[in-house]
Every structure is written in C-alpha cells, then in structure tokens.
Structure 1
Amino acid sequence: MTPEAALLRVIHCLDRARESGFKTKAFVRALDVVRSTSLDEIERRATRSTLTDLDGIGSSTAAVIADAVAGRYPAYLAKIEAESGVPITAGGQIYRDALRGDCHVHSTWSDGGAPIEAMAATAMSVGHEYMVQTDHSARLTIAHGLNEERLAQQLDQIEAINQQFADAGDDFRILSGMEVDILEDGSLDLCDEMLSRLDVVVASVHSKLRMERGQMTERMLAAVTSPHVDILGHCTGRMIGKRPPSDFDADAVFAACADSHTAVEINCRPERLDPPRELLRRAVELGCWFTIDTDAHATGHLEWQPLGCDRAAECEVPVERILNALPVDDLLAWTRRPR
C-alpha cells in the first residue's frame, strides 16, 4: 500500500464514520502534501523520522505514512476500519444483496468531496454495477449547483469515463443524472431539453421547507407528476434532531408517485433516514416504487446503504418494487418509459 493509498483509505473510513472535523481535515491535508512531494523524499523522511518537519504532516498522519513506506499495514487504518464498519441486520442483508447500484451520488462538481472517478471506483469496490451521478442543480448555490453549461460539460466527462471502462473491459457504468431542485411553484430547476438528456432525474425540495401544508402538497404533486422526474428525493427534508419534516399530504403525494411511476427514495444518510417509518409504510401500502440511495457526498458514504436496507426490511418494502435492484438496462427502460 502506497502512502497515498493509505491516506485515501483512512479518509474513506473517516467519512464512513461521519467524522467531518479536524481529524479528517488533517488527513486530507497530509494527502495533499504527499501528492505534492516526491516519493523519494517521503521515503527518506519516513526512514529518518522527519515526516513531521513537512508542513501539514502531524504525528498521526506521519505514522500512517511511515507504516506504508515500511510495507506494514498502517495500525491506525486497521483501527478505523474496524470501528467504522456499517452493521446490517439479516433482514436488511436480503435487500442489500438485491441492490445493483446507487441512484443518488454527488461529486466535487457540486458539494461532494471526491471526483466522479473516485466515486465510481468505490461504487465498483462495494459491488455495484452502476451508479447515477446526481449533482445539485444551479438553484442550490450553497452546494455549487450545476447550471446547464456545467451539466453539459459533466455529461461529456461521464461519457469519457464510461468509454475508459469499456476499453478496459469493465461492465460498470455511470448513468447521467441530477438532483434537481423542486422550486416553490413545483417546477424544476432545469430546462426540459437538459432534463430529457439525463438517464435519471431525482427531484428534491431544498428550500422553503416550512411551507404551508397545502402549498407544499401542490408543489410536490407538480414535481412527481412531471414526465421528467424518476425519483422523489428525501421527501420530508428532515434532519434528525436538527430539522423537523416538512408538512404535506403524504397520501396524495405517494398516490401520485404510484400513478406516475415516480419512485420514492429511501435515503440512507444517517441524519436523514427519510421517509420516516410511518410514511414509508404508507408509501408501501399505496403501491409506490422505491430506491435505496446513499445520497453520498464522499466515497465512504457509498457504504451507508445498509441503513436504508434495514429500514426497508423493517417496513416490509417489496424487493420487486426497488428500482435499483434492476439491472442497468431494465432501469433505463423504466426511466425512459412513455409517460
């Protein structure tokens, strides 16, 4: 394991463990230093115990680098790997085994912490056959959302990366997508022409979350019945312990999702776990389709699917109604169906 690979793996595990403070920043900084310093110098300093003389390398990061240089599996990495694993129940494992991809993934194009290539490599390593690249739309300026020009550039990059996979004989595919903001009137934050170019569209509410119940219901109904929308993202917008769920007529919205074949996302982020159990059970009763998505903003987040799988098992979501349990061609046939 190279020093760079060791530091990347530590960062992955810290992200998986939801560690977003000083510790993660220290390892990210050390990674930058290693990447900008010749391997010869890194090895020489590791041998002489002078790694901490480099600005940005502390004692913990130096120990990981030194272990890697010496050909040892870094002790700190082994510790954080053991501590950060995501458990899963026997019932949840049935759902996890069925999943073939992840339909909600972010990258450094918007507010994610890793480039598309790194997210794809991690998705492959956890056994996925595909992932849908769904960076934010332009309205969410705090997340550096993509306007039409930047989205077009991203589509070109996705095509190029997929060609690299094909040339290497790898069947993994990145599908084009976007997490499009549902605007206050229920319209979508992207023009029809660009929406039609995407393989998968996730529509989510990110603003005016305390909107009056009737207005929020109409806003969501307009979005989920759009011919462009495939998935309703984190439907209540809640942040557990920080922000309550939005108020809307769940029966009306989920019935419209079922009629329009718009999947309801089971969001796996630990701070979301959205929809709440009672709403998820109601969506099941009303015949909705579902996706189990990580909403990943870093490579480690791609390992959060067990959280959503456990929730699906607990609420008895039919496996045959989970969209990302479909093979990629069947998924695309589903999203491109006449509506």
Structure 2
Amino acid sequence: MAGTGTAYDGGPVAALRRIAFLLERAREDTYKVKAFRGAAAAVLTLSADELARAVDEGSLTDLPGIGASSATVVADAVRGVLPERLARAEREHGGPLTGGGRELRAALRGDLHSHSDWSDGGSPIEEMAFTALELGHDYLVLTDHSPRLKVARGLSAERLARQLDVVDAVNDHLAAGGHTFTLLKGIEVDVLDDGGLDQTDAMLARLDLRVASVHSKLAMDADAMTRRMVAAVRHPRSNVLGHCTGRLVTGGRGTRAESQFDAAAVFAACAEEGVAVEINARPERRDPPTRLLEQARDAGCLFSIDSDAHAPGQLDFPVLGCERAEAAGIDAERIVNTWPRERLLTWANG
C-alpha cells in the first residue's frame, strides 16, 4: 500500500514503534503487534546506508524480521512519507481513550502494575521502561507474576533475583543518558488460599513495592475469601490490593463474575494497614466496580490507579481509571501514584 503523500520525518523505527503502541492500546492481536516491533528491532541493526540501499533495491523483506507490511512502512518513512499504515492506526486508535480523567492523569507520576515478557507480558523490560518514560512517567513498577501462576510464567525466587539485576542495568543506562525516570522493582504476588503471599519473605524484602492479587479459586465461599483477602492485606509486605473482585466485563477472554467477599471488612483492613486499593484501568476489568470503589472511598482507603499493562501501548490505560476516580470524587492526595518517588518508597517500605 502506498504512503499518504504527507511528509513525515519521524524515521522508520519511530513509525513501527508507534504502530505497535497504538495496536497494543487497542488490545489488537499479539501477532500483529509483534510483526511491527520485530521489524523495528531489525531496522535498528542497520546503518542508514544499509537501510537506504535495501529500500532502493526493494530487498527489505529479505531481512529477518521484516515482512511485506512492515517493509512498506519502512520504505515510506525512509523516503520521508507518512506511511498509510501509521496514518490508519492514528485514525482508528490514536484519539483520546475517554472524555474525562485528564486532570487526574496529569497528576499521576507513575504506574505501579506492569508486566514484561519475563512473565505474561509481550515486550522486554527495557521497552516497557522506555515507553513509560516517553509517556511522561517519573517511575514504573515492574510487577511480573509470582511462581504459582505457572500459566503466566510466574517468576521463581531465582528468576526474580536475576530480573532485579536487569532492572539495575536498565536504570544505569537511563541515568547515563541523563534521565531521571526510574524503573522500580516489584511483583504482582499471588494471594495463596490461606492469605499468604506467593514469594519468599527474603525476596519480598528486596523489592520496592508489591501488588497482592487473587488469581485462583475466585469463586470460593465469601467467608473464606474474606479471610483470605484480609490476611493478605495484613501481610507486612503488602502495599496494593490488586483488582480486588477479579471480574472481567468484556474482552477476548470473555466475562467473569465478581468474587464474593465482605467488602467492609476488606476495605477496613486496607485503611488500617495503609494498603492501597487498586483502581485497575484495564478496560476488561474496571475493577473495583463503582459501588465498591465508592465503599472503599468512604472507608478511608488509599488508592493506586494502574494500567496492569502487558504491552507498552497499554501503559496509556491509567486515564480510564482516572476518569472513574474523578467521577467518584476521590482526592488526588489519596492516590499513592500521584506522590513523588521518594514518598512512595517510604510508604511502601515504612
């Protein structure tokens, strides 16, 4: 497909990454996204002369990782023409995700819940970090899954320890480039049946922040679920109660009913322990439901508005949670990821 005829000076890597970002934002099929991210990675290995020669010779598709669609994007961008595939992605997915939430979104300094390809995310750690930086975050907490969640390739203590070294390397690279953005060390730790947390105490202590979430036996008896959740909230290393009902309201995985529990007891524990209730901004979750969001507000809880991003483009989701928080009248000061990094870390590890 030919380009639009409109001038474009962003370069081929920027064009490919932007297409991938917008497809992820719209939760399009992973294979489509990987085609463009893979092509961007391939182009990065080429010098400007090598790339220009491949465009002139029409040999881009001979290169590993570059298919017909991405080759067209690259060729147009090299020639200074806005690729039609990028223009279409901007038309379809580039507009505001919602009509509200902008004022609170501007107050957010970071995101406390994100996943990389170390567990069930789709992109490398560094891509998640660089995208968060580009979106204006001061920090992003990397919270890959814990070991019991095998379907999501949860991290054993040994793998998590290796990941922490990678996070240090990413931060060193960012600092060397003059950036003040920080990738923080975290985990989305599974809440066990008895309310324990699915990682060793020693590893939990090495982290900057922990999101505790229920992922199994979501339909268990309400009394047992209440005991389980309250125990997790009262664990001394818990900081955020993730997607508390576990519901799914739309999306490719279908729908799922809310877990049943005594919300008054759970939110009272959160308020007492200083554990934030997550406002999970994923469109298919919208968790907690509005009535529980308002109940947590009235209980005096802190909150965290998070993307639960599994791909870089999904790091744009928090505005959806901001709209809900604004509608519920939740003051920005009660939302812990409006706080500066040092205050956040003092709260999480106090």
* SS at 1:292 equivalent: strand
Could you tell me the TM-score, scaled by structure 1's length?
Answer: 0.92
Checking the alignment, whether the CA contact within 8 Å between 1:86 and 1:306 is kept in structure 2 is no
The one of 197, 200, 204 equivalent to 1:188 is: 197
The offset of 1:296, in angstroms, is 0.7
Q: Which range moves more in the overlay, 178-187 or 82-91? A: 82-91
Per-residue deviation, residues 156-201 of structure 1 (Å, max 9, x unmatched): 2212222222333321111111000001111100111111111101
* SS at 1:333 equivalent: helix
Question: Does 1:271 find its partner at 2:280?
Answer: no
Task: Give identity over the alignment, percent.
Answer: 54
Which residue in the other structure is 2:148 paired with?
Answer: 139
Residues 121/4 of structure 1: CA separation in 2 closer, same or farther (3 Å cut): same
* SS at 2:305 equivalent: strand
- Give the Cα–Cα distance (whole angstroms) in 2 for the partners of residues 144 and 183 of structure 1: 17
The offset of 1:81, in angstroms, is 2.3
Question: Does 1:258 find its partner at 2:253?
Answer: no
- Give the Cα–Cα distance (whole angstroms) in 2 for the partners of residues 281 and 240 of structure 1: 19
Partner letter of residue 322 of structure 1?
I
* SS at 1:201 equivalent: strand
Checking the alignment, whether the CA contact within 8 Å between 2:126 and 2:170 is kept in structure 1 is yes
* SS at 2:101 equivalent: helix
Which residue in the other structure is 1:310 paired with?
Answer: 323
- Give the Cα–Cα distance (whole angstroms) in 2 for the partners of residues 229 and 97 of structure 1: 27
Question: Does 1:239 find its partner at 2:248?
Answer: yes
Q: Which range moves more in the overlay, 257-266 or 152-161? A: 152-161
Residues 169/237 of structure 1: CA separation in 2 closer, same or farther (3 Å cut): same
Question: Does 1:20 find its partner at 2:33?
Answer: no
Which residue in the other structure is 2:91 paired with?
Answer: 82
The one of 229, 236, 255 equivalent to 2:238 is: 229
Per-residue deviation, residues 135-166 of structure 1 (Å, max 9, x unmatched): 11111111111111111111122122222223
Question: Does 1:216 find its partner at 2:225?
Answer: yes
Checking the alignment, whether the CA contact within 8 Å between 1:86 and 1:303 is kept in structure 2 is no
Partner letter of residue 251 of structure 1?
A
Residues 188/170 of structure 1: CA separation in 2 closer, same or farther (3 Å cut): same
* SS at 2:248 equivalent: coil
* SS at 1:131 equivalent: strand
Q: Which range moves more in the overlay, 91-100 or 78-87? A: 78-87
CA RMSD of aligned residues (A): 2.1
The one of 141, 146, 160 equivalent to 1:151 is: 160
Partner letter of residue 76 of structure 2?
D
- Give the Cα–Cα distance (whole angstroms) in 1 for the partners of residues 346 and 74 of structure 2: 47
The one of 311, 315, 318 equivalent to 1:298 is: 311
Question: Can you give the 5+ residue segments of structure 2 that lack an aligned partner in the other structure?
Answer: 1-9
Checking the alignment, whether the CA contact within 8 Å between 2:188 and 2:211 is kept in structure 1 is yes
- Give the Cα–Cα distance (whole angstroms) in 1 for the partners of residues 339 and 24 of structure 2: 28
Mapping of 1:116-135 within 5 angstroms? 116-135=125-144
- Give the Cα–Cα distance (whole angstroms) in 2 for the partners of residues 76 and 164 of structure 1: 32
Partner letter of residue 220 of structure 1?
M
The offset of 1:75, in angstroms, is 2.6
Per-residue deviation, residues 93-135 of structure 1 (Å, max 9, x unmatched): 1211110000001111111111111111111111111111111
- Give the Cα–Cα distance (whole angstroms) in 1 for the partners of residues 48 and 121 of structure 2: 28
Question: Does 1:113 find its partner at 2:132?
Answer: no
Q: Which range moves more in the overlay, 320-329 or 161-170? A: 161-170
The offset of 1:239, in angstroms, is 1.0
Mapping of 1:53-64 within 5 angstroms? 57-64=66-73
* SS at 2:292 equivalent: helix
The offset of 1:78, in angstroms, is 2.5
Question: Does 1:281 find its partner at 2:294?
Answer: yes
Could you tell me the TM-score, scaled by structure 2's length?
Answer: 0.90
Which residue in the other structure is 2:209 paired with?
Answer: 200
The offset of 1:56, in angstroms, is 6.3
Per-residue deviation, residues 64-99 of structure 1 (Å, max 9, x unmatched): 111122122323213212321352667511211110
